[in-house]
Chains A and B, each alone.
Chain A
Amino acid sequence: MYPKDLKYDREHEWVRLDGDIATIGISDFAQDQLGEVVYVDLPSVGDIVIVGESFGEVESVKSVSELFAPVGGEVVEVNNELDDTPEAVNDDSYGDGWMVKVKVDDVSDVDALMDSVDYEAFLAEEA
């Protein structure tokens, strides 16, 4: 449910860091809470995202939620496949359901995030 190689934030985004490139998506918990995802509104390549601020929206059949940036930096790639297959967020939230790749300004941002054990504890606490 919560891969060990990822980091998580309290808004239920996950981050996979590769060098200074962070891939960002939403956790299995988030996709389950949202229900069937029908649309994902993402930034454009070149946009700057700021830690804790909204960088997009994910819309399900019943609600719409903002996406908050777990790290700050410049967007270098966007998962445009989600335009046609938004259900990938539900079906494969850590794989095909990824959303953006960000060139991270400060890699230590990632250290401030939770690992999978902490995130699961956080979820248990929230429940």
Chain B
Amino acid sequence: MRFIPVSCDEQVEMLERVGVESVEELFDGIPEGARFARRLGIADGLTEIELSAHLESLAARNSHGGSVVSFLGAGIYDHYVPAIVDAVVSKPAFFTAYTPYQPEVSQGTLQAVYEYQSMICQLTGMEVSNASMYDGATAFAEAALMAARVTKRDRVVVSGAVHPEWREVLATYVESGTIDIVEVPVVAGVTDTAGVAGAMDSRTAALLVTSPTLYGTLEDLTALGAIAHDAGALFVVGTNPMLLGVMEPPASYGADIVVGEGQPFGNAVSFGGPGLGIFACHKAHIRQMPGRVAGRTTDVDGRPGFVLTFSTREQHIRRQRATSNICSNHALNALAAGVYLAAVGTEGLAGIGEACIAKAHYLEAALVGSGRFERAFDAPFASEFTLCFAGDVAVMQKRLLDRGFLAGLDLSRFGDTDAGRVLFAVTERHTREVLDSFIEEVSAL
């Protein structure tokens, strides 16, 4: 495809034709707050060499997982990405192909999707997975809509311990008033089960929780699932998929829909995206499931092949009554996740999960032991935990950043009113040496 730049004359002509004064006016429909008000800080008339040098100098001002030790998490995690992931994902047949509109021609893509789905089903314990959604947050919001379709109800109960950005995406999805959202408060770092029981009613389509929570704590999913089902609602569980190699699959706690951010599987942290939304459910609800599904079948000669199946749920057939207006996905990210899972295997994934959990518990005990931090909650946790810092969090983080450590996430970012709460995420990339040097720096504060 050739890129055809627009000349100034052509631009003027086009603006006149559509009846606007400037290109900026075309963006009037987008709220001020969401727009970039300044011009980009790039001088006019730079040569390509100059521009490239300028951009590189800007990029060099960012820290990244290779230049600092990061304990940031809250949904996006700094796991090691095996070299094979990029090697496979970069194959032109995968890399250049957009969503297959004549899907059966793209057997390789469909097989990759099918294998991804199969592994997600194995991990979550659910019967059906779609080809993935955009990210964990959209999968979470789509689960609420799906529950409303399945139950024919119009209200959902959401735990306040769910990542605030996920809750925000859900609120945006239902902004027009199609579904009422009720939020249940957090008590001691986990969802208030008594509050949930009180909030459920005969209009409630689903109870939505995540475990781990925003705070890294693990929910009592058995109890929460029972409350949801007693009210005739679906139980939607958001998960950190990296832990599913060692932890019980959400299905065993009665989850009806399992969602999650799939970034930990072979995808870069990359400022928080793009990721992929894991979405799995029971077969009984497949017709209400959003997104595409690849299936395995046989051709007229009995040879195995792959197809897009249950397409009648999708926009190209069902139009405005489609189960979702998402008819695409982050396919390349899902492919990376599939390649990652195939590369590390069942035992590898369990090993990584165990390492993350063990290292997190080691670090947590040491940080509490240093006397600089206190435990925020008594609830169990896996690879991520919240501590309270007695002093000024920003000052502490600045000092540790100067020493090469991103010292966790300051939860005041999300309006957490209990000042001093910091969320730490630990992955297999944190060696014992790295953890010990961090603990030493903290003790020296």
Contact = CB atoms under 8 A, between A and B. Distances in A.
Interface in A19-40: 39
A39 B317 contact: no
A45 interface: no
B318 interface: yes
Contacts, number: 13
A119 B144 CA distance: 43
B52 interface: no
B434 to A, nearest CB: 54
Contacts of A41: 287
Contact of A39 (B152, B287, B318, B321): B287
Nearest to A43: B152
Contacts of A64: 312, 317-318, 321
A77 interface: no
A63 B312 contact: yes
Interface in A32-72: 39, 41, 44, 59, 63-64, 66
Interface string B288-318: 0000000000000000000000001000011
Contacts of B312: 39, 59, 63-64
Contacts of A44: 152
A44 B232 CA distance: 15
Main secondary structure, interface of A, reads strand
B170 to A, nearest CB: 26
A41 B317 CA distance: 16
B313 to A, nearest CB: 8
A63 B317 contact: yes
B41 to A, nearest CB: 52
Interface in B75-104: none
A41 B287 CA distance: 9
A97 B47 CA distance: 73
A44 B317 CA distance: 25
Nearest to A41: B287
Contacts of A63: 312, 317
Interface string B316-349: 0110010000000000000000000000000000
Contacts of B318: 64
Interface in B111-131: none
Interface in B146-205: 152
A39 B287 CA distance: 9
A63 B287 CA distance: 13
Interface string A61-97: 0011010000000000000000000000000000000
A100 B178 CA distance: 28
A44 B150 CA distance: 12
Interface in B237-279: none
Nearest to A47: B152
Nearest to B319: A64
Contacts of A59: 287, 312
Nearest to A44: B152
Nearest to A83: B284
B104 to A, nearest CB: 14
B327 to A, nearest CB: 15
Contacts of B152: 44
A1 to B, nearest CB: 27
Task: Identify the interface centre among A41, A44, A63, A64: most chain B CB within 10 Å of its CB.
Answer: A64
Nearest to A39: B287
A66 B318 CA distance: 10
A9 B226 CA distance: 46
Contacts of B317: 63-64
A86 B152 CA distance: 22
A41 B318 CA distance: 14
13 contacts: A39-B287, A39-B312, A41-B287, A44-B152, A59-B287, A59-B312, A63-B312, A63-B317, A64-B312, A64-B317, A64-B318, A64-B321, A66-B321
Interface of A: 39, 41, 44, 59, 63-64, 66
Given A41-B287, A64-B321, 6 more contacts: A39-B287, A44-B152, A59-B287, A59-B312, A63-B312, A64-B318
Listed from nearest, the 7 A-B pairs whose CB atoms lie closest are A64-B312, A59-B312, A64-B318, A64-B317, A63-B317, A39-B287, A41-B287
